[in-house]
Structure formats: structure tokens, C-alpha cells
Amino acid sequence: MSETINTPVQALQALKEVPLLLRNFPPDDLRQFLESGKMEHYQRHDQILTVESSPATSAYLIVEGKVSIFKDDIHLATLEPGDFLGETFLFTKGSRTANVMAETDTTLVRFDRQETLDYFRRMPERLFKIFIMNIIEIQQRKMVAMNQKLITMQKRLLNKE
């Protein structure tokens, strides 16, 4: 990993573009939102989240490195800098649905549900609406990707029969 990133402002500077979840935030609001997060560093192969140990009360912005998502020992996805993990944390109170492991040395910004809700209560309503629309776009992209994986798997199964 390059120079250690210790603050959310450094995290934003390290990213090549504004993360999708925060797209269309005015610059000052973007900075304030990032400052509400906490920096976390993981080494290669560290467990970041497990289904058994983590309620879904936080989300993570990947700043550096790569993380892999697994369910029942099946690799579901690899996320990279700028991606969010657990972006529906404001709306679901259940437990995690997958395990997450650092593929490389990784730096994340963790956002807690209550602190994030408090942040949006202090801000104009339009900012929360932007955030919600960004979540919807992320979820839609995930559905398209999952549909493509299902189609690919079905084609493979049909060709083997």
C-alpha cells in the first residue's frame, strides 16, 4: 500500500472519482459526510465482516485495496476503491448476509448507522434524497450484475446436459 491514509479527507483525495453513493453531493457536504466516518486498516486476508459476528449497522467505503465477498464459501464479488459495502445499512436492522475478507492490504472508512442518521437530520432534506437515489442506482447495478451471473451459470448448465 502507498502512504497511510489516516483521515477521511485523505481518503477522498486518494480516490480517483467521487464514490457512486456520494455522487452529486456538494463538495462541502461530501467532506462533512466523509469526516463522520472512521478510518480502518486491514492486512491481506484479514476478515473484515462475518455473517455471525456483525449486525448490519455500518457501511464501508473502500479507499485502498480490494475486498472479496463470500457466502457459503462461494465468491460473490470483489470490490475495489470507491465501492461501498453495506450501503443499505440505514434501512436494514438484520445481520450481515455474507463474509468479507481483505484480498490485499485495505483501507476503509466505516460509517455507523446512528451517526449517519444524525448527520442527515442536520442537513437539508435534498441531500438525503440524493443519497437514497444513489443507493437505488447501486442496488439496480447489483441486480443487473447478478442477473448476468445467473444467465451465464444457466448457459453453462444447459451446455453440460
Cα separations (Å) of 98 from 53, 69, 71?
11, 6, 5
Delimit the domains of the chain by residue range.
8-160
Q: Over 90: is that where the pLDDT of 17 sits?
A: no
pLDDT, tens digit, for every residue of 41-95?
Answer: 999 999 988 776 666 788 899 999 999 998 888 888 899 999 988 887 877 766 6
Q: What's the pLDDT tens digit per position in 102-137?
A: 999 999 999 999 999 999 999 999 999 999 999 999
2 pLDDT higher than 90: no
pTM of the entire predicted model: 0.84
Q: 3-class SS at 102?
A: strand
d(CA 118, CA 99): 28
| 75: β partners | 70
For the structural domain made of 8-160, what CATH number should be given? 2.60.120.10
Highest mean pLDDT among 11-20, 56-65, 120-129, 152-161: 120-129
Is the pLDDT score of 13 beyond 80?
A: no
In angstroms, rounded to a whole number, what is the distance separating the alpha carbons of residues 52 and 67? 18
Identify the CA nearest to 91 among candidates 131, 51, 32. 131
How many other C-beta atoms lie within 10 A of the C-beta of residue 11? 23
DSSP structure string for 54-74: -BS-EEEEEEES-EEEEETTE
Q: What is the pLDDT of residues 28-37, one digit of tens each?
A: 999 899 989 9
Mean local confidence (pLDDT), 13-17? 80
pLDDT at 38 over 80: yes
CA distance linking residue 161 with residue 40, whole number of Å: 47
